[in-house]
Amino acid sequence: MTMEELRDTAAKKVHFRKLSKFTSVAEVAASLLTDKGNVYTGVNIDTACGMGFCAEHSAIAQMVTNGETRIVRIVAVGPGGKVLPPCGRCREFIYQINKDNIDAEVMIEGNNTVKLRDLLPHLWS
């Protein structure tokens, strides 16, 4: 699956809605492709007290639940189909799930693609 197809898959999952006075979901969605050729998607959960998580975390949780850890490509999309690069927490999470994910392709602004290593140039480990 190409990066553009992953982007389009994520964009179809963006469907912002309020679950309660304090919680909203799916303002951002992510799709990832594993080394086994499987695609996993997820949406963000935003809470008033910081217990929520990013769309990348949601997609990665599905991947791990299915026994996989190696990401080949990953992309997150927000409102209007805007590609959003992973936040620092997500970048580190992707790496810590499997150190080989340092070579995962990540879509950033302008539909450009970089390796995770370009977004984490000075690893602490």
Q: What is the mean pLDDT of residues 25-41?
A: 98
Q: What is the CATH number of the domain that holds 79?
A: 3.40.140.10
Q: What is the mean pLDDT of residues 34-52?
A: 95
Q: What is the mean pLDDT of residues 17-42?
A: 97
Q: What is the pLDDT of residues 49-89, one digit of tens each?
A: 989 999 999 999 999 999 999 999 999 999 999 999 999 99
> Any residues with CB less than 8 A from the CB of 2 and at least 6 apart, and which?
none
- Decide if 124 is inside a domain: no
Give the pLDDT band (50/70/90) at residue 29.
very high
DSSP string, 81-117: G-EEPPPHHHHHHHHHH-GGGGG-EEEEGGGEEEEHH
Q: Is the pLDDT of residue 27 over 90?
A: yes
Per-residue pLDDT, 124: 85
- Decide if 70 is inside a domain: yes
Measured distance CA(120)–CA(74) in Å, rounded: 15
Per-residue pLDDT, 77: 98
Q: Is the pLDDT of residue 125 over 90?
A: no
Per-residue pLDDT, 2: 96
* Total number of residues shown for the chain: 125
- Decide if 76 is inside a domain: yes
User: What residue numbers bound the domain in which 92 lies?
Assistant: 3-119
Domains of the chain: total: 1
Give yes or no for a contact between 83 and 7, defined as CB atoms under 8 angstroms apart: yes
Distances from the Cα of 75 to the Cα of 22, 44, 47, 94, 122, angstroms: 27, 13, 22, 12, 22
- Decide if 60 is inside a domain: yes
